[in-house]
Structure formats: structure tokens, C-alpha cells
């Protein structure tokens, strides 16, 4: 029996409870909170717009391409193909999509397919080439890394370093080298494809749950018109993002996209680098016509391509995704696309039953050990100054836009890491603290999920356990759970029921923008 203890939301933030409660301003920004009524309305709109054209094919987890049934709808989740499958939030997103698809399939008596989108068009190798785990002998946090080449290119054009990938996977599967061998074939070039071992891991844990996958770069033919419209009307797209950003600011929520950036929401791969198209690039439309495979949507535009390629009735979101999808929601109207219902992913922390009370104390921390408030303010001032500097230089010399974008990204990332460093107590901590709050963040945003699968006698049983924790049509709650299931302290509930008990823990801290 799956056991769990439910607490108020930690990761998605307390504002999501107001959204579920029907707050009109939040509903205008994010759409209605997840419910069968809201999903019925989106399904009706999608059916009304079906024109007989084929949706993009999806892949089963054996890599075989399959067409969706004509009347199918899709529940979408996604993430970059991070080393070793990434952090625990990846299976949490996956399980949420599977649980919701099963509910909707029963409700509608029609096929509803959970699809995991691998963001193979992304290009920042520093986001995917490492992952953290807990060393079993010392209890300390350990970082594992494998390089990819070439750097700064779209992931589908890159490959893992074989020795680095094999070593990282081996270290993350202590005592289960059979599993490591299943994920990385020593002699197979296919296993060096950036997303390959991630798909293999998803298959082991969720292969029997109806999950399918799609690689973002394969949606290109369905996104061609979207890119052309974005190039033709950058001002209209910027205005839609500005309206969404203003709504976020009014609620005190973080704005994801710079609404003053005049460049189109389109990226291009040139000379081994993927970068945003310049604001005054007169030749871009001719290059798009000649080599469409070199072009892809910027993050704000990606949901529109997904909506054009697949009948997405709901999209599972992490906290940062929820905010940027809210800001970009107005873009759907520009492209006559149906916005999906946004569904917060499962947020959960696994603990051993013996350490559950200590874990509760760590989870109830008010966040005082994270980034200093004065540093937060100074960091934002620095960001603003850097953006103004970059925009001024680009005005004087537009050909420097690519270099300025890379400088701006590295400057903001470096400054944030410095601001966070004093609060990274988890970097040195061991034991329960390192496991529950690694780097003073939440477990599922940091720790790899591969060791969880490796220690399970049956990976599919572990996957079923995670699916059983999901309540996608209920307001977010933070779930404290164990696997194999153990009795948690008084107040524990049966997660197979639809009841949940709240604690008196403090409000959630602000969302971590790196947590997808």
C-alpha cells in the first residue's frame, strides 16, 4: 500500500491555492485551474478545430514512431534530456501526466495519451551535463558530470562523451551495473544520442503505463507557419508577452521574458551555435525557406508549436514553467491555437520512515537559509543594469547581438550562483539534511532519480508508486513518502484515497526559477 503524508505546497507556492479557489486575476493569467469542467471545455475546442490534418507522430519507448488515434487527446509533460534522466522532478512530471491521462480516458471514454516531450532543440549544455546524488558511504552530496559536444548547439545535433557518460551512469547505479548496461551500450553509437538513455530510463519505470515520447526538433514541420508569423510580427508577440508580464507583476510573481527585447521569438543554428535571430536581420526569412531545420522556437513560442503539432488538452508544469506559460498564454490567440489546461506537477520528497520527523522540520523551514534578501535586491539591480548595457551596445552595433546574448546569459547565471552560494549549506551537509534539502533546495529539484530506480527491485513498481502519489485535479500539496512503502508518523494517509491532511507548516518560499 502506498503511504504518504500531505503538506501544504512548498514548490508551487501558496498562490496556487488562490488560483484553485477561483481567483479571477489568476484565472485570466493561467486559465482556469485544473478541473474536469475546464478540461471538457478545452477538449471541445480542440475537437471543433480538427480539420483532418495529421498530428505529429509520437514514439513508443522502444523508439518506434506511431500515429496518434484520430480522436486522441494528449497530456504533455517535458524537460531537457539531462544526464542520467535528470532530477526527480522528471518522473514527478511524467507520473502526473500519466495519472491525469488515465482519469480523462475514463471520463471521456476516448484515447488520452501521456506524452513526454524531450527538449532536444535546447542548446545550453551547462544545464544538462551534470546531476547530483547522495554518496551512500558518506551521506554527502556528490556531483556527476559528462561532457557533450559540440557545446552551444541544439542537443539533437550533439553527442555524449562515451567515457564520461558510462562513468556517470555507473556511479549512479551502485550495486546495479546490469541497469547501467541497459542504459548505455558500450558499442552502440545510438546510446550517445543525447536523449537515448533518458528514454531508456523512462521505459524501465513507466513503459507499462502507456507513456509515449516526442523529440522537440521533430515538430519542425508543424511549426513552420508559427516561425514565419513570429518573424513577420515581432512587435505583436512582444506586446502579448508584455501584457502577460504586467499581470504577473501585479500579483508579485516573477516575470520570465524580457518584454523590451525587440528580437523575434525565433532561434537559428549557425556555425555550430544556436542563437536568437537579430532584430534587424533582413535575410532570415530567406534562410528559413532554404534551411528550415536550422530554425526553432524560442521558449515563449514553443507551446504554440506544440499546440499546432499535437492535440494538447493539458500540460504538466513545474513552477517556473507555470509562470512563463502564464506570461506567454496570450500568444495562442495570435496563432489561433487552443491553450491547454496548465497542471502543476507532483511535488514530493522521499524519506526513510525513521527520519520522517526530522524531514518535516527541514521541509517546514521558512527559507531563511536560502538567498539573502539584500542580495536578491542587488541581484535584480545588477540584472537590470546588464540588460540596459546590452541593449545599448546592440543599438550601436546590431551585429553583436549574439555575443551580447551569450554574455548576458553567463553574467546573470554567474551572479545568481554567487548570490546563492552562502545559502548552499547542503553542499557540505550530510545525512537527512543533504537528502531532504540538498543545496538548501527541495529534493526533487536537485537529486537524480536514477539511484531511486537502481535501488528498487522492480523499476516498474517504483514507477507505479510515483503515479499513485499524483492528484492532478486537486490543489497542489507536498507529499512526504517512502519506497518501499513504510509506515510514516501519525497523520500519514493512504495515498490511494482522495483525502489529504494539512500541517501547520509555514507558507512556501518563492519558486526557484531553475526548477522545471
**pLDDT tens column, 367-385:** 444 566 788 788 888 988 9
Residues near 331 by beta carbon (within 8 Å), at least 6 away in sequence? 237, 240, 241, 300, 301, 303, 304
- The Cα–Cα gap between 248 and 266 comes to 23
> How many alpha carbons fall within 13 Å on the CB side of residue 195?
29
Whole-angstrom CA distances from 122 to 91, 162, 226, 233, 445 are: 20, 21, 18, 23, 19
Which strand (E) or helix (H) includes residue 130? strand 130-134
Pairing of strands 73-79, 112-118: parallel
- The Cα–Cα gap between 83 and 81 comes to 7
CA angle 151/190/203 to nearest 5° reads: 105
Number of Cβ within a 10 Å radius of residue 276:
17
What domain range is 333 assigned to? 1-516
Pairing of strands 130-134, 3-7: unpaired
Task: Pull the grid cell for residue 92.
Answer: 514527478
pLDDT-based confidence at residue 489 (cuts at 50, 70, 90)? low
- The Cα–Cα gap between 384 and 414 comes to 15
pLDDT-based confidence at residue 413 (cuts at 50, 70, 90)? confident
Q: What is the mean pLDDT of residues 318-335?
A: 95
508 has pLDDT over 50 = no
Report pLDDT for 504: 25
CA angle 205/304/66 to nearest 5° reads: 45
Q: What is the mean pLDDT of the chain?
A: 87
Q: pLDDT tens digits, residue range 140-196?
A: 889 999 999 998 899 999 999 999 999 999 999 988 889 998 999 867 788 899 999
Residue with cell 546574448: 405
Task: Pull the grid cell for residue 263.
Answer: 528580437
Sequential DSSP letters for 276-294: EPPTT-TTHHHHHHH-GGG
Establish whether the linkage from the previous residue to 484 is cis, with ω within 30° of 0.
yes
Report pLDDT for 326: 96
Q: What is the mean pLDDT of residues 446-455?
A: 95
Report pLDDT for 130: 96
Helices (H) and strands (E) counted in the chain, each on its own, are 20, 18
- The Cα–Cα gap between 497 and 481 comes to 14
1 has pLDDT over 90 = no
Report pLDDT for 515: 53
Number of structural domains the chain divides into:
1
Q: Which residues of 191-206 are buried (b: 16+ CB within 10 A; e: fewer)?
A: bbbbbbbbbbbbbbbb
Q: pLDDT tens digits, residue range 72-87?
A: 999 999 999 999 999 9
Q: pLDDT tens digits, residue range 22-38?
A: 999 999 999 999 999 99
Percentage of the chain beyond pLDDT 70 is: 90
Q: Which of 102, 141, 146, 106 is nearest to 126 (CA)?
A: 146
Does residue 493 sit in helix, strand or coil? strand
Report pLDDT for 333: 95
Residue with cell 541497469: 179
Report pLDDT for 502: 29
- The Cα–Cα gap between 231 and 285 comes to 7
95 has pLDDT over 90 = yes
In terms of C-beta density within 10 A (0-12 exposed, 13-18 middle, 19 or more buried), how is residue 455 classed?
A: middle
Amino acid at each position: 500500500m502506498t503511504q504518504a503524508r500531505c503538506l501544504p505546497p512548498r514548490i508551487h507556492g501558496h498562490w496556487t491555492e488562490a488560483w484553485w479557489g477561483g481567483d479571477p486575476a489568476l484565472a485570466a493569467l493561467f486559465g482556469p485551474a485544473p478541473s474536469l469542467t475546464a478540461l471538457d471545455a478545452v477538449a471541445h475546442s480542440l475537437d471543433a478545430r480538427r480539420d483532418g490534418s495529421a498530428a505529429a507522430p509520437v514514439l513508443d519507448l522502444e523508439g518506434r514512431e506511431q500515429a496518434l488515434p484520430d480522436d486522441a487527446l494528449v497530456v504533455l509533460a517535458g524537460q531537457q534530456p539531462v544526464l542520467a534522466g535528470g532530477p526527480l522532478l522528471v518522473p514527478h512530471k511524467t507520473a502526473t501526466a500519466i495519472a491525469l491521462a488515465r482519469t480523462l480516458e475514463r471520463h471521456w471514454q476516448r484515447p488520452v495519451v501521456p506524452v513526454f516531450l524531450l527538449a532536444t532543440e535546447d542548446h545550453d549544455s551547462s544545464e544538462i551535463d551534470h546531476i547530483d546524488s547522495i554518496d551512500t558511504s558518506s551521506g554527502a552530496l556528490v556531483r556527476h558530470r559528462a561532457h557533450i559536444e559540440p557545446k552551444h548547439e541544439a542537443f539533437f545535433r550533439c553527442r555524449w562523451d562515451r567515457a564520461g557518460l558510462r562513468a556517470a551512469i555507473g556511479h549512479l547505479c551502485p550495486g546495479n551495473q546490469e541497469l547501467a548496461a541497459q542504459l548505455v551500450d558500450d558499442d552502440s553509437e545510438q546510446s550517445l544520442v543525447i536523449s537515448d538513455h533518458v528514454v531508456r530510463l523512462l521505459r524501465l519505470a513507466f513503459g507499462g503505463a502507456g507513456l509515449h515520447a516526442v523529440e522537440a526538433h521533430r515538430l519542425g514541420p508543424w511549426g513552420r507557419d508559427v516561425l514565419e508569423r513570429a518573424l513577420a510580427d515581432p512587435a505583436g508577440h512582444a506586446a502579448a508577452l508584455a501584457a502577460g508580464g504586467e499581470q504577473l507583476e501585479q500579483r508579485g510573481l516573477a516575470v520570465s521574458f524580457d518584454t523590451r527585447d525587440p528580437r523575434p521569438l525565433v532561434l537559428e543554428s549557425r556555425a555550430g551555435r544556436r542563437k536568437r535571430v537579430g532584430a534587424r536581420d533582413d535575410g532570415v526569412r530567406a534562410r528559413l525557406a532554404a534551411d528550415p531545420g536550422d530554425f526553432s522556437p524560442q521558449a515563449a513560442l514553443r507551446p504554440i508549436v506544440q499546440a499546432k503539432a499535437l492535440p494538447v488538452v493539458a500540460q504538466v508544469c513545474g513552477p517556473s514553467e507555470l509562470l512563463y506559460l502564464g506570461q506567454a498564454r496570450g500568444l495562442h490567440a495570435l496563432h489561433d491555437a487552443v491553450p491547454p489546461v496548465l497542471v502543476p506537477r507532483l511535488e514530493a520528497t522521499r524519506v526513510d520512515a525513521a527520519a520522517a520527523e526530522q524531514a518535516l522540520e527541514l521541509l517546514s523551514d521558512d527559507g531563511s537559509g536560502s538567498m539573502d534578501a539584500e542580495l536578491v535586491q542587488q541581484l535584480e539591480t545588477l540584472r537590470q543594469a546588464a540588460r540596459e548595457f546590452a541593449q545599448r551596445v546592440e543599438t550601436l552595433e546590431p551585429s553583436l547581438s549574439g555575443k551580447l546574448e551569450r554574455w548576458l546569459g553567463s553574467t546573470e547565471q554567474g551572479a545568481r550562483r554567487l548570490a546563492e552560494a552562502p545559502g548552499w549549506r547542503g553542499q557540505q551537509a550530510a545525512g537527512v539534511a543533504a537528502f531532504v534539502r540538498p543545496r538548501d533546495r527541495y529534493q526533487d529539484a536537485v537529486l537524480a532519480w536514477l539511484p531511486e530506480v537502481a535501488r528498487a527491485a522492480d523499476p516498474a513498481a517504483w514507477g507505479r508508486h510515483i503515479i499513485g502519489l499524483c492528484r492532478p485535479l486537486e490543489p497542489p500539496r507536498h507529499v512526504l513518502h517512502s519506497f518501499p512503502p513504510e509506515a510514516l508518523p501519525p497523520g500519514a494517509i493512504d495515498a490511494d484515497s482522495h483525502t489529504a491532511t494539512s500541517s501547520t507548516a509555514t507558507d512556501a518560499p518563492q519558486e526557484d526559477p531553475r526548477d522545471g
